[in-house]
Amino acid sequence: MIAASGPRRRVLLAGGMALLGARAAQAVRVRPSIRHVTLLVGAAEGTGLDASARMFAPLLAHILLGTEVTLRNVPGEGGMNAIRAVMEAQPNGLTLAWLVSPSLSARVIDRGGDDPVLPRLRLIGAVEREPVTFVSPIAAPLESVQDLIQRSSADQDAVPLGTPPPGSPPHLAALRLQVLAQTRLNIITFPSAAAARQAVIAGNVAAAALAMSDVIGALRDEKLTGIGIAARRRSDVLPDVPVLEEAGVPLSATIRRGIAAPAGLTDEMAVRFSEALRTIAEDPDFKTMGQTHGFLPAWMDGPSWTAQVERERADLAKLWAIEPWLPSSGG
């Protein structure tokens, strides 16, 4: 249950209510002294990131017996405000952040590298992954991603490809598609994923790149049609939508969500949080939740996630050199 309290939202669990299955019943504790954790979310209320955090927070509270989990929205600068807030917090386990990659790597790049972000964070682990999905309107569907590339890169009457704001994972995927296609696509950015989704449903853009969780409802309600998923294999969530590689475009764009803490968090506390996250990620009921909401439960421990973020940073630095997604490094 989430009760309103200004920008903060308390995530409470009714006594004895089982949100997870038998494995989760063997809950882990962080420390007897920790009775409250604040989970920072780098987006406004009502956004996709906010919604995913609100689904996850009660599960975390359930696993961390006796611990209340409170959400605090810290929107701004594409998630950078929340990243800074957790970096500056005391490393006592009371403040965590719900973070997304490759957004984390993108903020390192597009903020000019002046802020040493990664050394000041401790990534505990990622529990969700989902691919970027390309969709088009039901009324005027594109046939494939190759159709999109051809028509969006036409010299005249190029069809627009909508994405969420510059530097978001779907926008980065669209830029990578542009590089792979060796052409310039007519990419139009919108202030939010919801705005981009509405634009493609209304037919104001010919296609859109969005997170799977942002389009799964519209696909199931037949308001949109899937062009392709930027993944190595078809998704268990949307098995009928082809991957882009089936159309000869080897583009994989995976979004991961998980928990980060300030860098000084002790190893003991990091291990306990990690055990809690892994328990949730591996529970069958969490998989069912993912099927409904458009993500795949996938456990990635802190060191592995950190290594992936470093690889993403290197790849995005190359992309930034040829296709900067903001007008300037201070953007």
Q: Are 143 and 132 in contact (CB under 8 A)?
A: no
Strands 161-163 and 224-229: unpaired
Amino acid in the structure at residue 230: A
Helix 267-281 to helix 48-63 angle (10° resolution) is 110
Amino acid in the structure at residue 210: L
Q: What is the DSSP letter of 142?
A: -
Helix 193-201 to helix 212-220 angle (10° resolution) is 30
Q: Are 263 and 87 in contact (CB under 8 A)?
A: yes
Strands 254-262 and 187-189: unpaired
The Cα 168–Cα 257 span in angstroms is 13
**Domains with residue ranges and CATH for the chain:** 2-130+255-322 (3.40.190.150), 131-247 (3.40.190.10)
The Cα 41–Cα 300 span in angstroms is 20
In sequence order, what are the beta bridge partners of 137? 224
Residue 328, pLDDT score = 53
Residue 115 neighbours by CB under 8 Å, 6+ apart: 84, 108
R_g (Cα) of the chain, nearest Å: 20
Q: Whole-prediction pTM value? A: 0.89
Q: Are 148 and 134 in contact (CB under 8 A)?
A: yes
Residue 21, pLDDT score = 55
Residue 34, pLDDT score = 77
pLDDT per residue as tens, the chain (331 positions):
343 344 444 443 333 334 555 455 555 554 545 789 999 999 999 999 999 999 999 999 999 888 899 999 999 999 999 999 999 999 999 999 999 999 999 999 988 766 688 999 999 999 999 999 999 999 999 999 999 999 998 776 789 999 999 999 999 999 999 999 999 999 999 999 999 999 999 999 999 999 999 999 999 999 999 999 999 999 989 999 999 999 999 999 999 999 999 999 999 999 999 999 999 999 999 999 999 999 999 999 999 999 999 999 999 999 999 999 987 543 3
Residue 12, pLDDT score = 39
